[in-house]
């Protein structure tokens, strides 16, 4: 049985999250993986990460990204942590005052 819990920072929202998200302030680089015209014109994106969890992230981007688009995200080394990366798909892209707010759901890691 899978239990979902409500993230305390999203208590007013109807979102259910499997893992808590931690607020982050970092810039990550993303690479569009799909073969759309926009992905070929602008293959690289700069993401101002807002929050991060084991299975996803929220970030601000200067360009809009299509819902369902696949991206590879590279996170920088920070605070003694090594650089790392993840693959995922965009589940939401909404205009905001500073660009576009993206929500990315990471692909699950294979079982060991």
CATH code where residue 26 lies: 2.40.10.220
Flag whether 12 is in a domain: no
d(CA 88, CA 71): 6
Flag whether 81 is in a domain: yes
Host domain of residue 92: 20-106
Give the count of domains, the chain: 1
Token representation of residue 41: 């014109």
d(CA 74, CA 84): 6
Flag whether 74 is in a domain: yes
Flag whether 1 is in a domain: no
CB 32 within 8 A of CB 45: yes
- DSSP letter assigned to residue 41: H
Half-sphere exposure in the Cβ direction for 13 (13 Å, CA): 9
Flag whether 112 is in a domain: no
Tell me the per-residue pLDDT of 24-52, one tens digit each, with 9 for 90 and over: 778 999 999 999 998 999 999 999 999 99
Tell me the per-residue pLDDT of 89-102, one tens digit each, with 9 for 90 and over: 999 999 999 999 99
pTM of the model: 0.76
């Amino acid at each position: 049985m899978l239990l979902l819990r409500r993230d305390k920072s999203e208590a007013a929202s109807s979102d259910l999250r499997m893992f808590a998200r931690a607020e982050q302030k970092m810039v990550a680089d993303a690479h569009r993986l799909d073969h759309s015209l926009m992905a070929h014109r602008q293959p690289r994106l700069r993401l101002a990460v807002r929050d991060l969890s084991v299975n996803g992230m929220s970030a601000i981007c200067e360009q809009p990204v299509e819902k369902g688009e696949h991206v590879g995200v590279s996170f920088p080394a920070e605070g003694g942590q090594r650089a790392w990366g993840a693959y995922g798909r965009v589940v939401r892209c909404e205009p905001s005052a500073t660009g576009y707010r993206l929500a990315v759901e990471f692909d699950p890691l294979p079982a060991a």
